[in-house]
Structure formats: structure tokens, C-alpha cells
Chains A and B, each alone.
Chain A
Amino acid sequence: MQLKAENISFRYTDDGPFVLKDITLEVNSGERVGIVAPSGYGKSTLAKILSGYRLPEEGKVLLDGKPLPMTGYCPVQMVYQHPEQAVNPRHRMDKILNEAWQPDDELLRKMGIEKSWLTRWPSELSGGELQRFCIARVLGPETKFLICDEITTMLDVITQAQIWHLLMEISEERNLGMMIITHNMSLAKRVCTRIVDLTKLNNVHSHTHTHIHDHEHGDEDHVH
């Protein structure tokens, strides 16, 4: 399968500046495409468009040449940058987790999700614990593409490595396509099959960010 952004342009208000202009990008099944660009450049905006949460002003999002389905389960799922903003604070964790599918005990164990957390409210979990639920709930068998927006910045490095190893395993087993937004170049090099610099695709000229480019997030010399 292929997920494609075709000549996408987007702005938040009718007379505002374009955040994305004329973006074309493909992700194939089994690929893990890293997306890098400075803060405020439009990465999360692109993620929301590709997963159908926002409609582009121009251009199309195509899944195997067809628009994303408007009803039923969307095969393109997204995990947000800030988990506290991605869950309903008035739902308990079991409801949040099982909304779309029922993850089995094995997956919960691998994700480091404790059963006793299921009866809690989102505010009763740490940032990283909440994010693990947000990841587990989108790993259902009907998910064909997964858009990951800075999903492990809230996790300690051990849990981060565990979850990425698991996601890579799932992506290989099921031929899941992934788009991975990250500022951590060392991580991107570990998990992505290719890396795309959004600044090279985007045709907008005015932005509220400055052009500071991402580097290696610490390198071999810092830790021995």
C-alpha cells in the first residue's frame, strides 16, 4: 500500500500565511520515513492532514490512490506529541485504551502498561505512562499506516528503546508503514528506513520560526 500527500497546501486561516505549500510525499508499506524540520515548520500540521484530522486547502491525501475513508476505522492512525492533549480527561484509561480495539495482555506487557492503571483517570498517570496507552491504542490490526509525532520524548531512554524495538518489529511483521517526526537524529538513524527534510519539500517563504537546523542529538563523544 501507499500513503501519499499530493501537492498539499494548508493554512490555519483564510487570509493567514501558508504553513504548507505544495507538499508531495509518499510513504510505502513497510517503510519508516523520518521527517525533520525546525520547530514551528509544519510537521505536526502535516501529520494531522495525513491522518485525516484536518483537510488541506489544496491537494489530496491518497491511500492507494483513493481518498481516506470518511467513516469507519481509519487505516491511517496518529500518535500525538503531547499525550495529555490527546485523551479525554473524563474517560478512564480502560475506555481510552479499548476504544478502537482490545490489545492483548502480551502487548500490554511489552508496552510496560500495568493492569492496575486501567481504572485510573489520565491525570493519575505520569506523562510517559499516558503516552504508552496512546501508542498501544492505535496498534490494532486494521492500522496500515502510523504517524508518530515525537512520540517518545516523554519516555526514559530504556523505555524509549524498548518501544522503538517493538514498533520496528510490528512494522516488519505486518508491513506497517510509518512516518516518524523527531528532532533526535541519532534516534531517526536507528529507526527510520529513510529521512526526509521537510524544509526541502516546502515552498513557503514566511514562517514564524528561524532556520536553525537539526543536528545529531548528542554524539558518540558525549557519552562513553
Chain B
Amino acid sequence: MSEEKKTVLNVEDLTVAFNMYQKGAFKKTDLEVIHKLSIDVKEGEIVAVVGSSGSGKSLLAHSILHILPKNAKVGGKIEYCGKELDDKYVKELLGRDIAFIPQSVDYLDPLMHVDKQVIGVYGNKERQREVFDRYHLDERVDTLYPFQLSGGMARRVLISSAVMEEPKLIIADEPTPGLNVEMAMETLNNFRELADKGTAVLMITHDIDLAFEVADRIAVFYAGTVVEIASTLDFIMGRGFLRHPYSAAFVDALPQKKFKPIEGTQPYAGNLPSGCLFADRCPYRDDECAGEIPMRDLRGGKVRCVHAT
């Protein structure tokens, strides 16, 4: 069935590098932080992006929206409904067809009452109240400035602006940290309702257990690449159904599971190994893992590991 659905967002071979001074060098060089990354979101679909902190999740969002800093070099292809999404086009679409929920609460305008910000260019007061009510933000909140909000209230205001309209694409970068489980679920259910009406949702999140409840597919990021993309069902079925050893380690670290982290950290972008990026932490590593590891299809999903079965 998903075959007939239109692809709303298509990212192919995205590469992001920063031109900057690096340790011991006198000249600026390129530090590549996202390497040939591909991901797509179809109409009516929620794709959750999970993965290590610093793996390029926010930069993916910022690349799509053309809000990367000036010293960033971007390669690859980003398309919205089959059309190249350049700087000018994204500005046309933003706020109406494309909604963005940023990870940082600093995106709120410090000098404007929150109701005005949420109403923005296209909204109206009535709809804003309706949305705030849903997120348990009462009338007193309307005329507060961002600094007068608690952390979770600021988060809910950011979510509210994204769901004022029925956008065709939502890019949500960590929409739920610091929200209690009911409020977080309310947000995700709201995304689900919109998706059921056709919205495509790219949802970056560390709340992987909540993503299980609403996402159709889950993509796992590691060190600037996607290591696995699979249906949410495989994640719910557990580590035995997952393809990549990093995805399995991820599930084991959840506090409601074993709370047992694997050792080590993601490799630094300036010092990447030549073969598999996960090799130094992988219990299954052998000689074959030293070569280039392509993404391959496996059991209806995709994985970047030579030994995955």
C-alpha cells in the first residue's frame, strides 16, 4: 500500500561539512559531519529519527530548512514533493506547508507575547486558543513572554505553532523532552492525527519508547550516517528483530529495560575510521568490517553492517 503513496520529503546522499580551524592546523579545513545520508518520508507517514547525540539529526533538519551556518558546505539532493527544495522555495513553504519544531527553545522571540508568535502570519486567535487548550496552556499563558515560561511550557508553545495549520510536512527536532508522558503522548497523537490526514512527519527524538507508539518507521543515526531503517514493529519486537548491533545496544540502555550502556563514544568526525564507524564498540567485528560498508536491504528494512542477518 505504501508503494502508491507520494514521497513528500526525499533526502539523497546528503553530505554536510564545516570549514573550520582544527587542532594543530594553521589553515581552515573541512570537517565532514554528515556522510551520504539518505532518508525519505511519505505522505501520511511518521518517520522517527533516533540515534546518538551528535550524530547529525539536527543538522539534517537544518539542511532541509536551509538554516545552517555560513561555513557549512552541503552536498546531495533534498526534494519536497519531487521538486528541489532550495532556499527560496523553503521560505515560501515554511509556516504553512512546512512546519518546524526546533530543538532549542531559543527560537522563540524573546520580545513577543507567545500567543502572537503562535498566531504568526496565517493563524487566528480562535485557533490559537483551541491549540493551547489541547496542550493545557490556559489564558494566562497567552500574554507571557518566553522567559516567563517553564521549560515544558516553552516546549508546548513550540509544538502549538507547528500544529496551527495542517502542514504537508512537519520537521520536529526533539518535540517532547521535559514533558510528562501524557503531554508527550498527546503531542505524538496529534502528529498521528495529522499524518492520518496526509501530513508527512519527520520526528527526531530521544524518547524512543514513545516513538514506538506512533511512528511507522524508525531510522537509527550514528556518526553522521544511517545505520538502520526498519518498521517500528521490528523495534517493538525487540533486539532479536533488529539488524544493526548499535540499534540493539540502544534498546538495552533504556532505563525501563537493562539500563546497561555499552562502553565508548561515537567516533569524532575529524578522526573517522576507514571501515565501519561502529567497529570499535562492536562485539561482532572482524576483518570484513574494515572495508567500506554499504547500506543494503534486509528483511524489509535497510542496514549498514556486513554481518547483519
- A and B found bound together: yes
Q: Enumerate chain A interface residues (CB-CB to B < 8 A).
A: 12, 38-41, 43-44, 81-82, 84-85, 112, 114-116, 119, 123-129, 149-150, 153-162, 164-165, 183-184, 186-187, 189-190, 208-210, 212-220, 222-224
For chain B, the count of residues having a C-beta within 8 Å of the partner chain is 63
B256: chain A residues at CB < 8 Å are 186, 216-220, 222-223
Contact A114 B268 (CB under 8 A): yes
Judge whether B2 is part of the interface by a CB distance below 8 angstroms: no
Contact B180 A214 (CB under 8 A): yes
Given contacts A126-B54, A153-B206, A155-B53, contact A223 B257 (CB under 8 A): yes
- A39-B183, A210-B136 given; name 9 further pairs at CB < 8 Å: A40-B153, A81-B178, A116-B268, A124-B20, A128-B54, A158-B52, A158-B261, A183-B152, A209-B136
Contact B150 A40 (CB under 8 A): yes
B22: chain A residues at CB < 8 Å are 116
B window 90-132: CB within 8 A of A: 103-106
B206: chain A residues at CB < 8 Å are 153-157, 160
Contact A158 B182 (CB under 8 A): no
A223: chain B residues at CB < 8 Å are 209, 212, 235-236, 238, 251, 254, 256-257
**What is the minimal beta-carbon distance from B102 to any residue of chain A, in angstroms?**
10
> What are 11 A-B pairs at a CB distance below 8 A?
A12-B148, A44-B151, A82-B151, A128-B54, A153-B177, A155-B206, A212-B180, A217-B255, A220-B256, A222-B256, A223-B257
**What is the minimal beta-carbon distance from B23 to any residue of chain A, in angstroms?**
5
Q: How far is the CA of A220 from the CA of B212 in the complex (A)?
A: 13
Contact B254 A216 (CB under 8 A): no
Q: How far is the CA of A125 from the CA of B251 in the complex (A)?
A: 25
Pick the contact of B209 from A116, A127, A155, A222 — CB < 8 Å? A222
Q: How far is the CA of A183 from the CA of B179 in the complex (A)?
A: 7
B262: chain A residues at CB < 8 Å are 158
Q: How far is the CA of A115 from the CA of B250 in the complex (A)?
A: 25
The 7 closest A-B pairs by CB, nearest first: A128-B53, A39-B152, A218-B209, A153-B177, A224-B238, A161-B261, A186-B256
- CB-based nearest A residue for B24: A116
Q: Enumerate chain B interface residues (CB-CB to A < 8 A).
A: 18, 20-23, 50-55, 57-58, 69, 103-106, 136-138, 140-141, 148, 150-153, 156, 174, 177-183, 206-210, 212-213, 235-238, 249-251, 253-257, 259-262, 265, 268, 270
B182: chain A residues at CB < 8 Å are 212-215
A-B interface contact total, Cβ < 8 Å? 173
**What is the minimal beta-carbon distance from A167 to any residue of chain B, in angstroms?**
13
The listed residue with most A CB atoms (<10 A of its CB), out of B18, B54, B57, is: B54
Contact A39 B179 (CB under 8 A): yes
B235: chain A residues at CB < 8 Å are 223
A44: chain B residues at CB < 8 Å are 150-151
B106: chain A residues at CB < 8 Å are 82, 84-85
**What is the minimal beta-carbon distance from A42 to any residue of chain B, in angstroms?**
8
A149: chain B residues at CB < 8 Å are 151
**What is the minimal beta-carbon distance from A18 to any residue of chain B, in angstroms?**
14
B104: chain A residues at CB < 8 Å are 82, 84, 127
A209: chain B residues at CB < 8 Å are 136
Q: How far is the CA of A159 from the CA of B123 in the complex (A)?
A: 40
- CB-based nearest B residue for A215: B181
Contact A183 B181 (CB under 8 A): yes
Q: How far is the CA of A174 from the CA of B104 in the complex (A)?
A: 33
Contact B52 A159 (CB under 8 A): yes
A154: chain B residues at CB < 8 Å are 53, 103, 174, 177, 206
- CB-based nearest B residue for A206: B140
Q: How far is the CA of A30 from the CA of B3 in the complex (A)?
A: 57
A155: chain B residues at CB < 8 Å are 53, 206
Pick the contact of A115 from B23, B57, B151, B257 — CB < 8 Å? B23
Q: How far is the CA of A35 from the CA of B150 in the complex (A)?
A: 15
Given contacts A116-B23, A222-B209, contact A159 B53 (CB under 8 A): yes
Contact B105 A85 (CB under 8 A): yes
- CB-based nearest A residue for B249: A158
A213: chain B residues at CB < 8 Å are 180, 182
